[in-house]
A and B are shown apart, each in its own frame.
Chain A
């Protein structure tokens, strides 16, 4: 059973209790921000349309043995705690309903393209006409103006455009990126959340709303500033350096004993990072002071950097004899920064620390069943965030939102249904 809408709509005592959010976003960068607002108390209405489905509702993984729009773990993980309504904004009545939500909300959030925003007359100036103190956050791919304003993309295309592909990975490999739609998950939703909360307290102080424009291009490039500044100041074009680090050695992922999983073998890795000579001495001792490691050529950072291939070979020989978890536990017990390269199984089932902190949350979803969600990304001691309900089914709260939030009567709702506006 999904939670009763009242549970989602009403909260008390959380930082954003009483805040009303109209979440017109889709895919990752917008919805994750909307979910965080919900987790800390806001009433978030997620607007979707069955005529133009959120692409990640049809992307794997799906709850075992289930099909349809409501069972994607990709979608559900970004939309917990929201009320879901489907509106076909291309219809006149659908547009009216959407604008009613604009009038109702404190915060408007979208990552739709500038073309669609203009077509639907949802620019900041348009919104302000019906809601003068609205805070409107736009997340266009490239910005609301400029020669590339209509360029398209999503995380996987944005990563190369913003420099991540060129700078990440091993130098002898193609610039393949991080294997995900990287900026969609923390960089862009997180930056948006910071900006929104800043706008919120400004509004509380002055009564004024404002427009937030987070160009995903700019938000994603910003964290790569040191490489940009190195080019700007020194003309140097930094490139991929793999897992090494200019101020540390050893620094990388070291292969450990394979995991025997039935007939298959799974490669296992543990990262080790040593920044100081004192840490190196500790690592040598933890490895049982093998003769090779006591060689003077490894004694200082500079000389370890000069013999890094040999250094890594020596450490790999030691880690290969042990499980990744043994390497990590032993080194951490001595104060060395070691961490297993964990996978989905490790973080969810085997990481005792994440379990003890209760980071992952299991929620009962009407169609997907009991599944795991990421918890709030930060913890507030007096007002901890909470996922108040699983992600909404497509159109699950159409009636509730129309009636209880927008005050539409049964006739209006029936007409909207007949006209295909609530679709």
Chain B
């Protein structure tokens, strides 16, 4: 018999896009997450792409993705009329997750102190661009603002292009992951001590470690790490980087620790009849030296550099022709069978067809009764043997669980009718 890790936990989800991945992660681990939407509906419901490319009728795939397993309650939390209802609900909650500007909930009397008065051991998780205090606490941030200010964006792209923003709100995703982890940490502490607390997640800080080594490079060597267009060195090193296949791209990182050495790739090229003159000297000799340590030697023997660069450029071209003669899937799977560090540059279609994801039944088909169809969802980020991730409930329609939640809170029918009349639920 399996159980859910968070089945005893109730979360009020007031989060906008910056924090909603956090509540999704917790909902998919079994928490009762009540998404509180404005009476006009969550703005995320208007964000594409849409199921069947039709924007009307609650078909936002972006909303679907981030709201699995949640219940929906429409409620205007800023309305004094709705306040008693919200307070009643908050008293039953373990966790509140929100993304308002710092101070907004305090002004409503619903900040950490206000919530503690309703539920003394409550955990409030606040996700904002820059955190709850400090000179930039009140600054505005969208996803791109966070990835820029964290230091990760400067590393992406060609040197002469603008720095590249990562696809798909990676700033919000990173902040959401750290918010889920911070919330869980606070929950573990509450389990142990009975004490709740305020979890402060700054998107800028949440993403900082994505800089890889840029911060330390400045700290230790006073050098600014710049974007390099995906090339580790200013010259093309054979077998390192993006190569064109006959039907797309692959990424190779030959000669790195763990993977098979370059001569294994050469053998493969020979067996396919595509090695050209790489089996001859001086090419073959240099190929046998092509590993990471050699690359650091390259610049330390300047007298040999010009000749070596010429040979390297040639090997790079021949390897490029070899790749271009084959499909990306063949390069990936045949290369990996030889233990060569080769990755396919997957398109979304490639991911949909990925044999590994298919074997592990990763994608999830979730029935949507109102669409008379199933919708394909991304699967679990992790698999827990005793408390598995699951999509037990499709994302809610706006206010779908109002009646159910009012009943749980024992709100009398006339009061509900009155609030409905005021437009606050």
Contact = CB atoms under 8 A, between A and B. Distances in A.
Interface string B225-260: 111111000000000011000000111010011110
Given A163-B350, A348-B215, 6 more contacts: A151-B336, A166-B346, A215-B360, A217-B356, A345-B218, A381-B197
B394 interface: no
A191 to B, nearest CB: 4
B393 interface: no
B375 A163 contact: no
B133 interface: yes
Contact of A374 (B162, B215, B223): B215
A343 B351 CA distance: 33
Nearest to B167: A167
What 7 A-B pairs come out closest when comparing CB atoms?
A73-B216, A176-B230, A232-B376, A378-B182, A344-B218, A225-B378, A197-B184
A415 interface: no
Contacts of B156: 168-169, 177-180
Nearest to B240: A156
B148 A341 contact: yes
Interface stretch (A57-65, A83-91, A294-302): A57-65
A69 interface: no
A233 B347 contact: no
A243 B179 CA distance: 25
Contact of B168 (A73, A167, A219): A167
B230, B336, B377, most chain A CB atoms within 10 A: B230
Interface stretch (B206-214, B271-279, B310-318): B206-214
13 contacts: A166-B348, A168-B165, A178-B155, A180-B152, A180-B155, A190-B174, A197-B181, A201-B191, A227-B348, A271-B144, A356-B135, A377-B201, A379-B182
B199 interface: yes
Contact of B218 (A201, A349, A379): A349
A263 interface: no
B421 to A, nearest CB: 30
Contact of B213 (A74, A202, A218): A74
Nearest to B356: A148
A39 to B, nearest CB: 10
A40 B6 CA distance: 21
B221 interface: yes
Nearest to A33: B181
B76 interface: no
Contacts of A211: 384-385
A224 B167 contact: yes
B366 to A, nearest CB: 10
A218 B49 contact: no
Interface in B49-85: 49, 51-53, 61-62, 64-65
Given A165-B345, A194-B181, A218-B379, A226 B356 contact: no
Contacts of B380: 218, 222
A393 interface: no
Contacts of B99: none
B238 to A, nearest CB: 16
Contact of A179 (B129, B155, B199, B362): B155
B249 A175 contact: yes
A222 B178 contact: no
A152 B189 contact: no
B200 interface: yes
Contact of B347 (A163, A170, A221): A163
A311 to B, nearest CB: 15
A174 B148 contact: no
Given A162-B346, A212-B383, A221 B351 contact: yes
Contacts of A36: 181
Given A146-B359, A247-B47, A178 B144 contact: no
B357 A186 contact: no
A379 B131 contact: yes
A327 B146 CA distance: 16
A412 B157 CA distance: 54
Interface stretch (A1-9, A251-259, A394-402): A251-259
Interface string A39-81: 0100000000000000100011111100000000110110000
Contacts of A228: 348, 351-352, 363, 376, 378
Interface string A145-188: 11111111110111111111111111001111111111001110
Given A124-B385, A357-B202, A204 B191 contact: yes
Interface string A195-232: 10111111011101111111101110111111111111
B230 to A, nearest CB: 3
Given A153-B341, A160-B344, A192 B47 contact: no
A243 B144 contact: yes
Nearest to A369: B220
A375 B205 contact: yes
A145, A224, A247, most chain B CB atoms within 10 A: A224
Nearest to A196: B184
B21 to A, nearest CB: 7
Given A199-B387, A378-B200, A152 B336 contact: yes
B325 interface: no
Contacts of A182: 166, 210
B228 A344 contact: no
B230 A177 contact: yes
Interface stretch (A96-104, A284-292, A332-340): A332-340
